[in-house]
Amino acid sequence: MSPLRQKFIDEMKLRNFSIRTVSSYTGAVAALAGHYHRSPDKISEQEIKQYLLFLTEEKKLTYSTCNVAISAFKLFYNDILGQGKILLKIPLRKTTKRLPEVLSTKEVERIFQVEMNPKHRVLLMTTYAAGLRVSEVTRLKIKDIESQRNLIRVDQGKGKKDRYTVLSPRLLEELRSHYVRFRPQEFLFYGTDIKKTLSRSAAQRIYYKAKKKAGITRGGGIHCLRHCFATHMLEAGMDIRTLQIILGHASLSSTAMYLHITMKHLGKTQSPFDLLDISDFKNPT
């Protein structure tokens, strides 16, 4: 590893970046260097801009992916190299915000009912029942299941924050059966090695396979189960502030997105037209 790359990684560690962010940022700078076949400190600001155009216009990468590269370049060139060598002033690109597709409760049932490995079924059930991210469910440990309090502890979730989410009594029964059958040692959903977690990509493949068997073509990857949990909880009457805490959202606006999805909530919303006193109104002839 070059001293420059190590300096970049050390800087991100000092800033308490997640392992995933460190990997993404170093990968973005390495890809830039590979594109020009030169060390990144030999690449000009204009070349960086041309590379970003290449990513969007030729490789057709999404704005969110390009924003990761822009953030990585800003940190590397502004803070690591610095001292007037290159001072990037590239604004982040506006991303298109889309509402996630959410499955109905019947569709979620169909996914759980298809033929699959019992371990895989409980993995998907836990993801939905507790509203977990894929990185959270794959790292779930036996000690995180607090059955006496009907809670699941999410240890160091997104943003390196601990939180609690709900433990369904029905899910608890499934988890107990899972424990008796597969005897996990530490991680509830281990991979090929009982001492290591199941990979996120493996969890995604499990979900896609089950969804295909269920004949469901919409809704994206396994994160859809978290979207379903949030939407169905609002439809069941949970208040949005409690849901925010359970999901681990830093901002209430992130949770409010689900208000745009839940049709039951929309159906109960009264139009101001219904408040008008126009009972005696007659159309002019």
User: Active-site residues: which are they?
Assistant: 133, 158, 223, 226, 249, 258
Give the 3-state secondary structure of residue 277. coil
Length of the chain: 285
H or E stretch covering 159: none
- Joined tokens for residue 176: 């107990």
CA angle at residue 179 from 176 to 180, to 5 degrees? 90
DSSP one-letter string for 84-151 = TS----PPPPPPPP-PPP---HHHHHHHHHSS--HHHHHHHHHHHHHT--HHHHHT-BGGGEETTTTE
- Dig out the tokens for 162 from the structure: 């601990």
H or E segment to which residue 153 belongs: strand 151-154
Q: What are the beta bridge partners of residue 146?
A: 151
Contact (CB, 8 A) for 211 and 121: no
Q: How far apart are CA 95 and CA 63, in angstroms?
A: 6
Strand-by-strand arrangement of the 145-146 sheet: 145-146, 151-154, 163-166
Within 13 A of 223's CA, how many CA atoms are on the CB side?
8
What is the three-class DSSP state of 165? strand
